[in-house]
Amino acid sequence: MGGGRLPEGLRPEDPRSAGPYRLLARWPGPRPAPPRGGMYVGRDRDHGHAVVCLLPPAAYEAAEALRRGPVPGVPPVLDLSTGTEPAWVALVHSPAVSFSDVGRRPGPASGILPLEQSVRLAAEVAATLAALHALGISYGAVAPDGVWLTTGRPLLMALHACRMASAAPREPASEGGRSGGPRPGAGPGRPEPQSRVSTVPAAFMAPEVAAGRPSSAAADVYSLAVLLLHTATGRLPFGDGPPPVLAYRAVHDRPELPGLPGELGEVVAAALAASPADRPTAAELCRTLAPGGQDAERTPDPLPGRARRRPRRPAPCRARPPGRQAVERTDHRAGPSPHRLRARPGPGQPPPHGGRGTRGHTGVHVTGAGARGTARP
């Protein structure tokens, strides 16, 4: 259902349902430990499928904001429940494949996608991030596991990683219907203990997030710059390693940007600035990467991997056995008999009703062994 790799079956620690949704499998994506995170493929009572995200309290307000105001590039919210344990949000299910499921192209210095396509996808992700940031929401999962490719624009659907700026996490509603309020130690701009589970790998993590600060709009821009470089070249700006080492390199070293043209390299380097205040906004990054604006009429790209749609094979042509007469079934919009079968005229005979042939706009031929019924004169 998810594309690139088959959905992973449920584990013993996974819940089996969320509200009206029966959870069928794990959705490939960033996965904090359940029950306060994770993504699943769910099915409702009407057999409709959805992507179900389990929400930690810190993500409640962001999910509620997305239910009130949809954002292009984020699947629409079908249903949301923050008064249950676990809390969850159901999103429209779309065939998709994550960046992490797309194999690298052949070559020693090749990325996942060609440079031009990588830049266009990064511009579309930046446009979605800009819309989220305008609502005060940071995505917090810009990484190969947190961005999905479709036949249209890429999707951001890891809502369990979203946070509102300076949001105080809340507890699920108690039996009396009142919220339990923030957890001890939580406050504006300070995540609750054990709630800030970074869903991005260390190499995609902004240095301030690696140092313990919560994700922010500037951290999303940093992660997007790393994703663009990785998608286009297969490399990382500061190599790989544990978060403290990468954070030190991000603050004290210059990023290595092989394979990027000069102007594009300058844009990516600015987005990788050590100080969040020195990075461009997502809107500025989008305008730089796509100066002509997003082309809504562009031809959709095929889905890589298993999610690519295969063309349908034409139906086999059945030869007519010798001695069997072909018949024509007409819809008879102007005739008295709706199921009448008319014989096809023989050689040298004029077609019926003055037509130009034996198949008109209102007739469907049934020939050979596939014909049912007998021809009538």
Q: pLDDT digits over 312-366, tens only? A: 444 444 444 555 444 444 444 444 444 444 455 555 655 555 444 444 443 334 3
CA distance 169 to 329: 67
Which pairing describes strands 137-138 and 97-98: parallel, antiparallel, or unpaired?
unpaired
Question: Strand 87-92 vs strand 49-55: parallel, antiparallel, or unpaired?
Answer: antiparallel
Residue 202 backbone zone (phi > 0: left; psi -120 to 50: alpha; other: beta): alpha
Measure Cα distances from 227 to 131, 185, 258, 271 in Å: 19, 33, 14, 11
The pTM for the full model equals 0.70
Residues 6+ apart with CB under 8 A from 233: 109, 110, 111, 258, 259, 260
Task: Say how far apart CA 327 and CA 72 lie, in whole Å.
Answer: 52
Strand 137-138 and strand 148-149: the pairing is: unpaired
Low-confidence ranges of the chain (pLDDT < 70): 1-7, 31-36, 103-110, 166-198, 292-377
Residue 213 and residue 274 in contact, taking contact as beta carbons nearer than 8 Å = no
pLDDT tens for each residue of 124-178: 999 999 999 999 999 999 999 999 999 889 999 999 999 998 644 444 444 443 3
Q: Which of 247, 225, 244, 245 is nearest to 236 (CA)?
A: 225
Q: What is the pLDDT of residue 348?
A: 60
Query: What's residue 109's pLDDT?
Result: 55
What burial class does residue 46 get, using C-beta atoms within 10 Å of its C-beta: 0-12 exposed, 13-18 middle, 19+ buried?
A: exposed
166-183 burial, b at 16+ Cβ within 10 Å, e below that, comes to: ebbbbbbeeeeeeeeebb
Lookup result for tokens 């194999």: 103
Instruction: Print burial letters for 305-333: b (CB count within 10 Å at least 16), e (below 16).
Output: eebeeeeeeeeeeeeeeeeeeebbbbeee
How far apart are alpha carbons 184 and 105 in whole angstroms?
Answer: 49
Q: What angle do CA 360, 366, 368 make, to 5 degrees?
A: 135
For residue 251, what are its two tokens?
A: 């603050």
CA atoms within 13 A on the CB side of 369: 5
- Output the pLDDT for position 240: 86
How many whole angstroms separate alpha carbon 96 and alpha carbon 332? Answer: 45
CB burial readout 53-66, b (16+ within 10 A) else e: bbbbbbbbbbbebb
Question: Token pair of 344, please?
Answer: 């096809």
